């Protein structure tokens, strides 16, 4: 049982399945869209994996979930983690507004994160203002099934997420707050210098075994642990940067990939716990087992993450002095190129959570950590999407991520400028 002299909040957790039916296409790879059609094969294990034995959407079980952490710390706040690849900015704003209205929270106290699994569906909002973003993620002009099914999925997702948030807010109980960080070496830099000033890509280390690889420059894993003051329960929020792409382009099954499996393993390793994930800086990072279709290979990556998070939970330290904590927030909407970024910082004692709708390169994540004291959780793919954010040197090398960044109107140095904006916003968020 935690020390009652540690800082406390009132917190609650809820989880609801958001697994779609087999008519809903999955997002993540152009190859899947072009070669495998617009449906999916359901969860691993076929019909046996569906609670009703068939083809219904929204089963009570997984593999995809909405997970919600509610905090009463000077006012209600809700952090939502969705087993989805990404959200259009307009969709993220609609979800945040709907949740804020449902639970009675201020908009700055609602955060919607995507785990970035590449084996989940793509919700599309009812308006057209996000067309430019959508066309980057889905070549929808070839088959309107993407739009039709994506909009149907969003219509079901919104009330589901609101219900999950309300459930979490309805289960508030006193909990202590602690955190710890450690190095999680599950990822490598997929960009490999070609010796001519350019870059090649290693998508799969097993298939491309001739390519030299180096580990991620930002292997930080942050675990935030909330423990019930007068009971056994705990909530573990963890964050790490490696693309959830173990399964890859030739798999058409629904999966939370390694973060989803890691959540389940953490709950086994830490009795009476509930786990949830947010994605760290990983715009150029793949897991060491990547883009192959064997579901069994999700487990080694997930096990590495789960083992470290379970260990960090034992070593977690209080994020402040004894007494009730107040959650402080700072927000800012900025424009780079063709995209608007809804940036958000939460501060709970010494813990800072930085949220941005970006796929941030790992070196930029490392620079952000250099500027700010731990514990620090950097939640990317949060409150929307704006494509890849490469370093200045990566712009010089070119490649896939740089092409997308330029499509969004980004220029060399914008990634470094964003780090300055985020660090200033975080530094100004007083605890």
Tell me, rounded to whole angstroms, the distance of Cα 110 from its chain centroid: 15
Rounded to 5°, the CA angle 192-198-204 comes to 30
Tell me if 95 is assigned to some domain.
Answer: yes
Range of the domain at 92: 7-427
pLDDT tens digits for range 281-338? 999 999 999 999 899 999 999 999 999 999 999 999 999 988 889 999 999 999 999 9
Q: Which neighbouring-strand residues pair with 431?
A: none
Calculate the average pLDDT of the chain.
91
pLDDT band at 54, cuts 50/70/90?
A: low
Report how far residue 196's alpha carbon sits from residue 81's, in angstroms, rounded to the nearest whole number.
41
Residue 363 confidence (pLDDT) above 50 = yes
Count structural domains, the chain.
1
Whose CA is closest to 257, among 199, 296, 310, 311? 296
Backbone φ, ψ for residue 336 (5° rounding): -130, 125
Task: Using alpha carbons, select from 305, 223, 219, 294 the residue that is nearest to residue 261.
Answer: 305
Q: Which helix (H) or strand (E) holds 419?
A: helix 414-427
pLDDT bracket for residue 132 (50, 70, 90): very low
Task: Output the CA angle 158-163-164, nearest 5 degrees.
Answer: 100
Name the pTM for this structure.
0.95
Q: How confident is the model at residue 58, as a pLDDT?
A: 63
201-234 tens-digit pLDDT: 999 999 999 999 999 999 999 999 999 999 999 9
Report the alpha-carbon distance of residue 125 to residue 362 in Å, rounded.
30
Is residue 415 domain-resident? yes
In the chain the first and final C-alpha atoms are separated, in Å, by 26
What pLDDT is attached to residue 150?
87
CB of 202 closer than 8 Å to CB of 192: yes
- How many angstroms from the chain centroid is the CA of residue 323? 30
Residue 1 lies in a domain: no
Nearest to 218 by CA among 287, 281, 166, 261: 281
Question: Does residue 2 lie in a domain region?
Answer: no
296 within some domain: yes
Respond yes or no on whether the N-terminal peptide bond of residue 63 is cis (omega within 30° of 0).
yes
> Where is pLDDT greater, at 54 or 372?
372
Q: How does DSSP classify residue 46?
A: G
Is 373 among the domain residues?
yes
């Amino acid at each position: 049982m935690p020390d009652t002299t540690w800082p406390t909040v009132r917190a609650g957790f809820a989880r609801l399945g958001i697994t779609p039916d087999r008519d809903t296409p999955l997002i993540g790879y152009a190859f899947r869209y072009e070669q495998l059609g617009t449906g999916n094969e359901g969860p691993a294990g076929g019909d046996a994996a569906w609670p009703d034995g068939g083809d219904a959407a929204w089963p009570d079980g997984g593999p995809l979930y909405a997970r919600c952490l509610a905090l009463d710390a000077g006012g209600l706040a809700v952090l939502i983690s969705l087993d989805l690849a990404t959200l259009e900015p307009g969709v993220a704003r609609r979800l945040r507004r709907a949740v804020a209205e449902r639970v009675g929270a201020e908009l700055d106290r609602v955060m919607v994160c995507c785990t970035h699994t590449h084996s989940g569906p793509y919700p599309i909002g009812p308006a057209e203002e996000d067309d430019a973003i959508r066309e980057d993620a889905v070549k929808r002009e070839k088959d309107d099934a993407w739009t039709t099914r994506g909009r149907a999925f969003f219509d079901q997702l919104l009330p589901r997420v609101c219900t999950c948030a309300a459930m979490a807010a309805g289960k508030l109980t006193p909990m202590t707050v602690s955190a710890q960080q450690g190095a999680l070496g599950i990822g490598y830099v997929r960009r490999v210098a070609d010796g001519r000033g350019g870059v090649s890509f290693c998508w799969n280390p097993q298939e491309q075994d001739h390519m030299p690889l180096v580990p991620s420059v930002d292997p930080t894993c942050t675990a935030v642990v909330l423990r019930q003051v007068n009971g056994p329960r705990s909530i573990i929020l963890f964050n790490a940067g490696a693309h959830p792409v173990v399964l890859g382009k030739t798999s058409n099954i629904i999966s939370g990939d390694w973060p989803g499996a890691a959540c389940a393993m953490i709950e086994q390793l830490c009795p009476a716990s509930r786990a949830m994930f947010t994605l760290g800086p990983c715009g150029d990072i793949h897991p060491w087992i990547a883009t192959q279709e064997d579901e069994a290979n999700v487990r080694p990556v997930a096990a590495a993450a789960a083992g470290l998070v379970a260990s960090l939970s034992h070593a977690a330290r209080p994020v402040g002095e004894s007494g009730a904590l107040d959650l402080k927030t700072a927000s800012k909407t900025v424009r780079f190129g063709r995209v608007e970024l809804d940036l958000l910082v939460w501060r709970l004692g010494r813990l800072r959570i930085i949220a941005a709708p970006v796929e941030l390169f790992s070196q930029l994540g490392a620079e952000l950590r250099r500027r700010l004291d731990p514990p620090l959780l950097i939640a990317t793919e949060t409150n929307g999407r704006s494509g890849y954010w490469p370093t200045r040197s990566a712009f010089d090398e070119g490649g896939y991520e740089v092409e997308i960044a330029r499509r969004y109107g980004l220029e060399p140095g914008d990634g470094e400028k964003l780090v300055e904006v985020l660090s200033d916003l975080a530094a100004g968020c007083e605890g």
